[in-house]
Amino acid sequence: MRTIAMIGTGYVGLVNGTCLAHIGHSVQCCDTNADKIEWLQQGRIPIYEPGLEAMVAENVAAGRLSFTSDMASAIEQSDLLFIAVGTPMAPTGAADLGYIQSVAEFIGRHLTAYKTIVIKSTVPVGTGRMVDSWIRANMQNPQIPFDVVSNPEFLREGSAVADFMKMERCIVGAIRPEAAQLVADCFEPLNTKTYFTTPESAEMIKYAANAFLATKISFINAIANLCERYGADVEDVAEGIGSDSRIGSAFLRAGIGYGGSCFPKDTHALNWMADQAGYNFGLLKEVIQTNEEQKYVLLKKLVQALGDLRGTTIAVLGLSFKPNTDDLRDAPSLALIPALIAAGASVRVYDPVAMSEARKWFGSDVNYGIGVYQTIAGCDACLILTEWREFITLDLEQVRQLLKRPIVVDGRNCYSLASMSGHGIEYHSIGRTAVS
C-alpha cells in the first residue's frame, strides 16, 4: 500500500485517484479549485462517469480516499505524487504546459523528502525532463532526491472505471529502474502487463496510440465516403477487413468523426511536435483534415433529402462526443449544429445526459427537448449524432408518425438497413445507400 497525492481532480485525476484507492492505496486527491473539492467532499461528482460515484463513496467510507485543497500537506504526506492536470490545446496546436509547470514548481518549493513524481497528464515528448528542471529550479534544498516517471493513461471516457480495473497494459517511462518499479508496483493488484521504457518513449506511446486510433477512424470514414459513391456498404467492409487479425475490428466504426478531449487535442499536439522537429507528418495532417470534413457530411445529406433548410425545424438526438458521457468537448455536434443554424434551420436538441452541459455551449441558439419523442414531434427531419442506447432502440412507428417528414439522418449507423426498411422512413446513414 502506498500513499499517493493525485494532483488535479479533472477526469483523469478523479478516475485514477479513485481507482488507485480502490486497489488498496491511500489517496488524497488535490485541486486548487476549492469549490470542486467541497463538492467532492460532499460526495458530489462533477463528471458523468458510470460506476464512479459509487466507487468514490465506497473508498471514502473505507478511509482510503479523501479530497483536499491543501496541496502542500498532501505532498508532504505522500510517497508518490501523480500529476493529472490539464494540458489544453494552445492556439498553435501545441499542448499548453502552464498547469504542469506551476504544479512542478509548487512541488519543488514543497519538497522536503524523497518523492516519486508521476506524470499522468498527456504531455509532449521531453516534458518529463522539463518537469525535472522546473522542480529542481524551485527546491530550497537541492540535495533532496526525487524521480520523475512518465505513466500515460489509456482510459476511455464512459468506461474509464472498467478500463482501469481491467487495464490492458501499463507503460512506465523512467530513468532510474528503482523508480520505475515503484510505480509499476502501484498497479500490481491489477495483474497487468507492464512495459518499461525511457520517459521519451512513454510520452510518445501515448500520442502514437491516440493518433493511430484517430487514423483508423479517419481511414474508415474516408472508405465510407467512397462506399457511398460506389454502392458498397461500409459496415460490411469494416467487418471484412477487421476480421484480419493484422488489422483488427476495433475503431473501424464509420461515423461523423472523432471528438472529445483527447483525439483532437492529441493529434494536433503530435502534428505540432512533428513540425517543431522539422518533420512534415503529412499522414497525420490528412487524418485531422478528414475528421474536420466528416463532421459536416450529415448537413450535405440533409440538404439532399430536404432541399433548402430555411424555415425547417431539425431534431438533433445526441450531443455528447460519444455515449455514456456528458462531455461535449470537440463533439461533432458543436460543428454541425451551428452549420444547420447558419443554413436557416431551427434546431431542437435532446441528449439523455448532456443537456445541462449543452446549455453552456449552445445557450439560446437551440431549443431543448424533453425526451426523444417530444423532441422530434413536428420536426422536418431527425439527425442522430451519438449512438446512445436510447437512440438505437427507437419505436420506429412513433418516429414516422411524429416527424413532419419522416426523414432520419443517422451519423452513427445505429440501425441495419434491413431493420430500417419498410417503416415508411427515409433513412440516410454513413457509407451505405439510403433506404425507405
Catalytic residues: 262
Contact 221, 432 (CB under 8 A): no
155 is known to lie in a ligand binding site: yes
Q: Which is nearer to ligand UGA, 106 or 321 (CB)?
A: 321
329 is in an annotated binding site: yes
Backbone angles phi, psi at 330, to 5 degrees: 55, 25
CB of 409 to ligand UGA, least distance (A): 16
Beta bridge pairs of residue 3: 26
Supply 172's cell numbers: 512506465
Q: Does 362 bind ligand UGA (CB under 6 A)?
A: no
Query: What does each C-alpha distance from 394 to 373, 389, 424, 435 come to in angstroms?
Result: 9, 9, 14, 17
Binding mask 113-152 for ligand UGA (x = CB under 6 A): ---------x------------------------------
313 in a labelled binding site: no
Look up residue 175 and give its three cell numbers.
530513468
Query: In terms of CB distance, is 147 or 266 closer to ligand UGA?
Result: 266
Q: Which of 82, 164, 207, 258 binds ligand UGA (CB under 6 A)?
A: 258
Any known ligand binding at 259?
A: yes
- Say whether 254 counts as a known binding-site residue: yes
User: Does the annotation list 157 as a binding residue?
Assistant: yes
Is 115 annotated in a binding site? The answer is no
With contacts defined by CB under 6 A, how many residues of the chain interact with ligand UGA?
20
Secondary structure percentages of the chain, helix, strand, coil, to 5: 45, 15, 40
How far is residue 335's CA from residue 70's CA, in Å, rounded to a whole number? 39
CB of 406 vs ligand UGA, minimal distance in Å: 26
Question: How far apart (Å, rounded) are the C-alpha atoms in residues 17 and 7?
Answer: 9
Kindly state the smallest distance separating residue 210's Cβ from ligand UGA, in Å.
Answer: 5
Q: Convert 359-375 to b/e letters by CB count within 10 Å (16 or more is b).
A: eebbeeebeebeebbeb
Distance between CA atoms of residues 379 and 20, nearest Å:
48
In angstroms, give the least distance from the CB of 128 to ligand UGA: 17
Question: Which of 82, 99, 146, 263 touches ligand UGA by CB under 6 A?
Answer: 263
Binding to ligand UGA by CB under 6 A, coded x per residue (else -) over 206-225, reads ----x--x---x--------
Q: Which residues have a Cβ under 8 Å from the Cβ of 244 and sit 6 or more positions away? A: none
Asked if residue 321 binds ligand UGA (CB under 6 A), the reply is yes
The answer to the question of whether 300 is labelled as a binding residue is no
Joined grid coordinates for residue 189: 493488484
* Distance in Å, CB of 122 to ligand UGA, minimum: 6
Q: Determine if 388 is a binding residue for ligand UGA (CB under 6 A).
A: no
**Alpha-helical segments (H) within 122-197:** 127-137, 160-165, 177-186
Which residues lie closer than 8 Å to 15 by C-beta, 6 or more apart?
49, 52, 155, 160, 161, 164
Establish if 13 lies at the interface with ligand UGA (CB under 6 A): no
157 binds ligand UGA (CB under 6 A): yes
Q: Which of 423, 394, 390, 421 is nearest to 406 (CA)?
A: 423
Could you say which of 251, 296, 361, 368 contacts ligand UGA (CB under 6 A)? 251
Q: Is 262 in the site for ligand UGA (CB under 6 A)?
A: yes
Question: Are 49 and 160 in contact, with CB atoms under 8 Å apart?
Answer: yes
284 residue type, one letter: L
Q: Which is nearer to ligand UGA, 273 or 403 (CB)?
A: 273
Q: Which residues bind ligand UGA (CB under 6 A)?
A: 122, 153-157, 210, 213, 217, 251-253, 255, 258-260, 262-263, 321-322
> Which residue ranges are tagged as binding site?
31, 36, 87, 122, 154-157, 206, 251-255, 259, 265, 322, 329
> Which residue ranges are tagged as binding site for substrate?
154-157, 206, 251-255, 259, 322
